[in-house]
A and B are shown apart, each in its own frame.
Chain A
Amino acid sequence: MKKILVVDDDPYILMSLEFLMKKNGYEVMIARNGEEALDAVEKLHPDLVLLDIMMPDVDGYAICRHIKSSKKLSDIIVVFLSAKTKEADVKKGYDLGAALYISKPFSTRDLMKSVKELLQPTQS
């Protein structure tokens, strides 16, 4: 079973994402802030991270950078979910090695489709 880490400081978003991922048959872990996220990434090594950018302590970019710069973690697929919609912000996300950058608010159906596609190759 693929493991997905959901990182967001908004409880309602966290709630809906957790529900969606479970519904689609993934193992879900949640982190409410950057610290928790880094901890979870190290300990649980998820296959994919749904990552918010604006968080109280460590921001999403820093977490992504950490994942991609670590040999052990670099195979983790990072998908940004952010309200930051400026072109520069999106570019920065991709430059840091994200597989996808999804702007908030997003369609849950599209999100699931993308997540499934991203996790497909290793499934077969």
Chain B
Amino acid sequence: MNRAVVIASAVLYLALLFFIAWFAERLLKRKSVNLTQHPTIYALSLAVYCTAWTYYGSVGRAAKGGIEFLTVYIGPTLTCILFYPLLLKMLRISRRERINSIADFVAARYGKNFTLGIIVTLCCVMGIIPYIALQLKAVSSSYLILTHQHAMPGPGDTYKDTTLYVVLLLGLFIMLFGTRRIDVSEKHAGLVSAVAFESVVKLVAFLAAGIFVTWGVFDGFADIFSQAAAQQQLARLFTISGDGGYGKWLVMLLLPMFAMVLLPRQFQIAVVENTDESHLRKASWQFPLYLFLINIFVLPIALAGLLVFQGGTDPDSFVLALPLHFRQSWLGLFVFIGGFSAATGMIIVETMALAIMMSNHLLIPLLLSVKQLRPRQQAGISRQILFTRRFSIVLVLGLAFFYDLFVAASFSLVSIGLISMAAVAQFAPAVVGGLFWKQASKNAAIAGIVTGFLVWLFTLVVPTLTDTGLLPASIRSAGLFGLSFLRPDALLGLQLPDLLTHSFFWSILLNSGVYISVSLFSRLSEQEKIQAAVFVNILRDQPGTVWRGTAAMKDLKVLLHNFLGSDRANNLLQAYAQRHQIDMNKDNADPRVVLFTERILSGVIGSASARLLVRSVTKDEQIQVEAVLNIAKESQQVLELNKELKKKSVELTKASELLQHANEQLRHMDVLKDEFLYTVTHELRTPLTSIRALSEIIHDNPDMEDDMRQHYLASIVRETERLTHLISSVLNLERYESGRQKLHIESVHLNKLLQDVVASVQPLATENQVQLSYHSPDTMYVLQCDEDLIRQVVYNLVSNALKFVPPGRGRVNLRLHHGYDEVQIWVEDNGKGIEPGLHELIFDKFFQARNQTLKKPEGSGLGLAISRRIIEMHSGRIWVESKPGEGAKFVVALPFS
């Protein structure tokens, strides 16, 4: 096929990737639609697991080992299904701790250890650069096959240029969509969307090839299998061959299981880029389904290739070679694009993941430790971090490119994928152990990983190098330094069927062994304890609730002491421990105690500050209790200020309430005053009307009879008196109410006072034909009071009674009664009585005036109000007892003292 067409297609395809990534980012920015929030996109992006190595290589493996190739896919499938809780745990931890790579994860678990981050990063770089190179090689060789250049061209030839261009374009892509933000725990929506798209492309392309071979070249599955079965050396491919043994099977199963989460790109996609935990659940069937689909035609294609080419072509290229062999160049192009997408997807994610690790764990620490390079401003830092990350991308791609260019040419790359997986599998003990075992220590993780990695290097990489002559072959045959137990393919003389199994067995065995034994003998630092608790307990932590991590008991105690005083803090803790049967003597506080502490502190300084404080003891790196206490002291000062402010504000509120109340009272009094004035003037109008009318009549009628004139004049005089009485009443009342009236307290002889009153009203009673009676008791009542005022009250009551009884048969009786600690003056009448509902109201000013039905022709309407006021001034009481129709009894009660 024409090279230009192939290259143009590849470039167009990359352009499409750019567009998709750009579109996804734009959608997110403009419309807040996040494509990666769809669970299927997540599952598809996970399929970045299927690289060009699987795309081409699994057919090759199937052609050699039969259905054994499937184990590489059964592993991840099992991981998805069986290790759901483990993955969930990693997701939660990574979100909470803002973890952004596998190196970060391991380092964070072991007390945020610096060295571990570097070690993991170095292992990844060494183990995975060849893997990236393999992808480049897959691109270039598929390109060669497609363009019929089977010969291996030397450096500088066009196909290498093509690889270079691919590398450059991919580098640009990763920089554009992978380094948009400095915070790497931010998601890359565009990049992930593009990767998901690539997964679709490679699946469809592979299926297309499979369908073409199965039904286009042959007559369906049955045809291929029966034809293959007819040839003896092909028939063995249908069964699991015995020569690898179950050990090999197990390794081939376990390796991909680890790789599924430990490979930097898988960790990046599965954990860092995950937007929603629930996606994991869906992916746990969608991703295996994807693997099933992409593998369904592997065996048919392998068998078809063997049948068609009869050993004349590399099985790794069957997928591409078969369509080309049958002159289906467009299908060939599509298959090439599929392989291209598998390769680029892997390169993009892997490079980004590695670049993040390199910049964060190697370059940035280096940058910050070199004084001259340290930027002075914040903006400078972020620019430098971005630059470092981009530089790392260039470095990773450059290393892969040169590895492909110089190293790859000299030896086989076939099992590079598995070798890479074996490298990252060395993190498995540290990661899995770290998730479940609190005692696991930082030193153990370092020792385990280093041991495992060295064994990996010696048993897998060294043999490859001796095979290609880069190292002396004697190492392999006679052992390192001539020591036979140090033969890379048979450590301690143990012979295993293949290098990979042998290497995996020894590396994992020694790695785990070292890890466990060092852990058992380690004393954990505070920081390690804290992180261990975070990782191990993460699922017990309910989302949305407060932090429940673990902290050192003494830190919590110090916190509580600072806020509550040591006595109270100890009491509280003791009581809590007893109630929940918690051992308080352990170094590590029970999570419940942490929660309890936070609750207690919340009560003191508010929940936000409490969380901040408790979290700072439970989580942050070596943040020391002193720093915490500074926060504590500051917040206590703020707290005190707050308290002061609160107090002031309460005072102010109170004052304003008082003012408001006073204001209301004033307003109410104002209304009352208006009402009172209106009533007074109204009351004044009636006598005035009579006076005016009568005077005018007398004036206008000089010819009036003398008797009548006399009568009219007398009426005018009476009405004038009424007016005068009213006015003086009003003035009196005003004087009593304002408190301006001073009491002239003296010893008053009550018996005599009553006698005087009776004597003074007797004429009126006689006039009204009312029987007025008073029997002075034998006891003499002498009281300290204002004689004039009390007399006025009694006079009021008696003259009122006289007015309200029917003339002729009316009776008014006056009495002195000895109460418990008071003397009572009773004024009883046989009038028509007063309704119970009015017993209180009649003491109001102008009650009569405002209640027309009770209006009486005489009286100011102020008498009872004035009486009540006077009695109250003497600390006494005045009330009425009455039933309608049965007369009324007014009682004045005056205390003896």
Residues of A at the B interface (CB closer than 8 Å) are: 9-13, 15-17, 19-20, 23, 54-57, 59, 83-86, 103-109
B690 to chain A, nearest CB (A): 4
**Is the beta-carbon distance between A11 and B852 smaller than 8 angstroms?**
no
B-chain residues with CB within 8 Å of residue A55 when the two chains form the complex = 852, 855
A20 to chain B, nearest CB (A): 7
Beyond A9-B855, A15-B715, whether A107 also contacts B686 by CB under 8 A is no
A12 to chain B, nearest CB (A): 4
**Is the beta-carbon distance between A13 and B689 smaller than 8 angstroms?**
yes
For chain B, the bracket of interface size reads: 20 to 34
Beyond A16-B693, A56-B854, whether A10 also contacts B682 by CB under 8 A is no
A79 to chain B, nearest CB (A): 14
A-chain residues with CB within 8 Å of residue B857 when the two chains form the complex = 9-11
Q: What are 5 sample pairs from A and B whose C-beta atoms fall under 8 A apart?
A: A20-B697, A57-B853, A83-B689, A85-B682, A108-B692
B806 to chain A, nearest CB (A): 15
Q: How many Å lie between the Cα of A20 and that of B696 in the bound state?
A: 10
Q: How many Å lie between the Cα of A107 and that of B688 in the bound state?
A: 11
**Is the beta-carbon distance between B700 and A109 smaller than 8 angstroms?**
yes
Taking A10-B686, A15-B712, A104-B688 as given, write out 19 further A-B residue pairs in contact, using a Cβ cutoff of 8 Å, ordered by the A residue number. A9-B855, A10-B689, A10-B857, A12-B718, A13-B690, A15-B715, A16-B690, A17-B693, A54-B855, A55-B852, A57-B853, A83-B689, A104-B685, A105-B685, A107-B692, A107-B696, A108-B693, A108-B697, A109-B696
Question: Contact partner of A59 among B678, B697, B852, B856, CB < 8 A?
Answer: B852
Interface residues of B in 672-724 (CB under 8 A from A): 678, 681-683, 685-686, 688-694, 696-697, 700-701, 712, 715, 718-719
Q: How many Å lie between the Cα of A105 and that of B856 in the bound state?
A: 19
Q: How many Å lie between the Cα of A11 and that of B693 in the bound state?
A: 12
**Is the beta-carbon distance between A12 and B852 smaller than 8 angstroms?**
no
B192 to chain A, nearest CB (A): 79
B-chain residues with CB within 8 Å of residue A10 when the two chains form the complex = 686, 689-690, 857
Beyond A11-B857, A55-B852, A56-B854, whether A16 also contacts B694 by CB under 8 A is yes
Determine chain A's interface SS by DSSP, over half rule: loop
The 6 closest A-B pairs by CB, nearest first: A12-B690, A83-B685, A16-B693, A105-B689, A104-B689, A108-B696
B890 to chain A, nearest CB (A): 21
- Which residue, of A11, A13, A17, A57, has the highest number of chain B Cβ atoms within 10 A? A13
Contact string, B654-686, partner A, CB cutoff 8 A, digits 1/0?
000000000000000000000000100111011
Q: How many Å lie between the Cα of A10 and that of B692 in the bound state?
A: 14
A-chain residues with CB within 8 Å of residue B849 when the two chains form the complex = 54
B-chain residues with CB within 8 Å of residue A105 when the two chains form the complex = 685, 688-689, 691-693
B-chain residues with CB within 8 Å of residue A23 when the two chains form the complex = 701
Question: Contact partner of A12 among B678, B694, B701, B855, CB < 8 A?
Answer: B694
Q: How many Å lie between the Cα of A108 and that of B693 in the bound state?
A: 6
Beyond A16-B697, A86-B678, whether A56 also contacts B853 by CB under 8 A is yes
**Is the beta-carbon distance between A13 and B693 smaller than 8 angstroms?**
yes
Q: How many Å lie between the Cα of A83 and that of B684 in the bound state?
A: 9
A-chain residues with CB within 8 Å of residue B701 when the two chains form the complex = 23
A-chain residues with CB within 8 Å of residue B681 when the two chains form the complex = 85
Q: How many Å lie between the Cα of A103 and that of B682 in the bound state?
A: 10
Q: How many Å lie between the Cα of A84 and that of B679 in the bound state?
A: 9
Interface residues of B in 289-346 (CB under 8 A from A): none
Q: How many Å lie between the Cα of A13 and that of B685 in the bound state?
A: 11
B283 to chain A, nearest CB (A): 81
Q: How many Å lie between the Cα of A107 and that of B682 in the bound state?
A: 17
**Closest B-chain residue to A57, C-beta based?**
B853
- Which residue, of B686, B700, B856, has the highest number of chain A Cβ atoms within 10 A? B686
**Is the beta-carbon distance between B697 and A84 smaller than 8 angstroms?**
no
Q: How many Å lie between the Cα of A19 and that of B699 in the bound state?
A: 13
Contact string, B831-857, partner A, CB cutoff 8 A, digits 1/0?
000000000000000000100111111
Question: Contact partner of A56 among B682, B689, B855, CB < 8 A?
Answer: B855
Q: How many Å lie between the Cα of A104 and that of B350 in the bound state?
A: 106
B428 to chain A, nearest CB (A): 95
B-chain residues with CB within 8 Å of residue A20 when the two chains form the complex = 693, 697
